[in-house]
Amino acid sequence: MLSLLLLQGLFSSLVHCSGQPWVVGQAVGTTSGLAKGRKSPTYPEVSEYLGIRFGQDTSAQNRFMPPKPYSGTGTMNATSFHILHIPYFDQAQCDLSRACPQVAPPGPPGAFPIPAVTSEDCLFINVWSKPQSGETRKAVVLYIFGGAFIGGDASASISNGAGLANNEDVIVVAPNYRVNVFGFPSAPGLTQKNPGLLDQRLAVEWTKKNIAAFGGDPDRITIYGGSAGGSSVDYYAYAWTKDPIVNGLIASSGTAMMTGPFSLTRPGDSNDGWYKLSASLGCGGAEAGERTIACAQTKSMKEIQAAIPIPSGTGVSMITGMFGPMVDNQTIFSDYYERAKAGNFIQRPMLVGSNHNESLLFTTLGNITDPKAATSLENGFNCGAAEAAKARSLLDVPVWRYHFANNPPNSTLGALHGMDVMYVFGDGVEGVSKLLQSSWATFVRDPKKGLSKIGWPKYDPKGNTLVRLAYNSVPVADFVPATMYDGTCPTSQI
């Protein structure tokens, strides 16, 4: 007998495929249950589904462990977020859907806003879709948020997918994943050291299984991330070569080959941060070894948060903290250059790039005044993108590399870290937002040939193939030699 769950999914798919009118926000059958959506308040033709559970509660014995998939047959009201006010971002608002727990690093008041509502029961995913028009099986972009692996959440206004879904005939998916010590515990004895990255993989698997019911094509999923999300995309490319699921990758301001202060991976035996936390919890330090894990699992979320060591002084370590991706030779590796040269990564099309003024945000927040340190920061993003693109170019994997050079009106700051993502998820109506939104969607719809069809050259380190976007705030793409911006990069290791 078919279960109620299978019947729900079958009914939803049949309604879509049979040509019956799609009702905006209609209930959709998923492996998580029946999800009731709503009309997007900004784009009333877009159906948005907010906070669909895809993973089980990660507290108690599930804390620090790989995620467990969730399945259900009930009905979910996926129609609303909690609203948080963020003064640092010019009175902007951040929409939250039970974000994973996190702790703000030192910095100016409000610089690192922490969601008002957090919970270890946080593995939720958001979907924005417009099935009633355009392609009947739409390309899908799954966005992985940034935040240096210490913070962030999938429901922030900066990455709301309604505009992109409305304007560009794609489906946008955005999952939560665990951050800070909850997602990257660096505890001794764990065979899976990066459960936060496994959360991301589980979200991709959920999307593969369920996106057809929202009008999506499960064979056309592109993963896209900015900052730590960009690094996550590249980490994914090396971790899941045997079962990629995705057919395209977009890495913005983050790769596995980042150098300098933002080389975010830690050695596999780097347990200092964990032992500081466990000792603070009363669970013992290095002398207690692996016993500290079971002890820490008995503590409350708030006790864990209060015990997270906070770096002091100046520099990027203030921002990145003591917990992040660790080498486990499953999701994170220590030999990315060797793997790149051997082609040991997902050989699917990639769009990779960085912003013109990546370092300013971090030199300001980290109180960094040394020009050499600022250059090292800039190189980490820009040169990492160059290496990721070169690795693919040498193996004839379709790859495009961009440099976002926009200078916003009434600003002398240039294209700051993360600014390209803001334009991709902007209104897309005119100017720079329309340029980036349409370009990204072109790649998502056809990763192999889409950008070539609009005149973008595939990346070649020796040619005029670096795609410069919005130079002098003109919303066009032009093509320049990579050496124009790579002059301070160290010698390539590929």
Q: How far apart are CA 466 and CA 168, in angstroms?
A: 24
Q: How far apart are CA 161 and CA 128, in angstroms?
A: 6
Q: How far apart are CA 309 and CA 272, in angstroms?
A: 10
Catalytic residue among 129, 227, 252, 439, which? Answer: 227
Q: CB atoms < 10 A from the CB of 287, how many?
A: 9
Instruction: Name the DSSP letter for residue 67.
Output: -
Three-state DSSP at 183 gives: helix
Whether 82 is catalytic: no
Q: Are 268 and 328 in contact (CB under 8 A)?
A: yes
Which H or E run includes 353? strand 350-355
Report the amino acid identity of residue 260: G
Q: How far apart are CA 383 and CA 254, in angstroms?
A: 10
**Cα 184 to the chain's mean position, in Å?**
15
Whether 417 is catalytic: yes
Distance set, CA 175 to CA 123, 241, 255, 294 (Å): 7, 21, 19, 28
Q: How far apart are CA 470 and CA 88, in angstroms?
A: 26
Catalytic residue among 359, 417, 433, 439, which? Answer: 417
Whether 358 is catalytic: yes
User: Which residues, 6 or more positions from 480, have their beta carbon under 8 angstroms from its beta carbon?
Assistant: 403, 464, 466, 468
Instruction: Name the DSSP letter for residue 447.
Output: T
Q: How far apart are CA 200 and CA 142, in angstroms?
A: 10
Q: How far apart are CA 301 and CA 120, in angstroms?
A: 7
Three-state DSSP at 475 gives: coil
In 3D space, the residue among 148, 182, 31, 156 whose CA is nearest the CA of residue 92 turns out to be: 156
Catalytic residue among 48, 120, 358, 387, which? Answer: 358
Q: Are 435 and 469 in contact (CB under 8 A)?
A: yes
Which long-range contacts does 473-476 make (Cβ < 8 Å, 24+ apart)?
Answer: 473/406, 473/407, 473/408, 473/409, 473/432, 475/430, 475/431, 475/432, 475/434, 475/435, 476/435
Question: Do strands 350-355 and 399-404 pair parallel, antiparallel, or not at all (unpaired)?
Answer: parallel
Instruction: Name the DSSP letter for residue 236.
Output: H
User: What are 252's two structure tokens?
Assistant: 């913005």
Catalytic residue list: 227, 358, 417
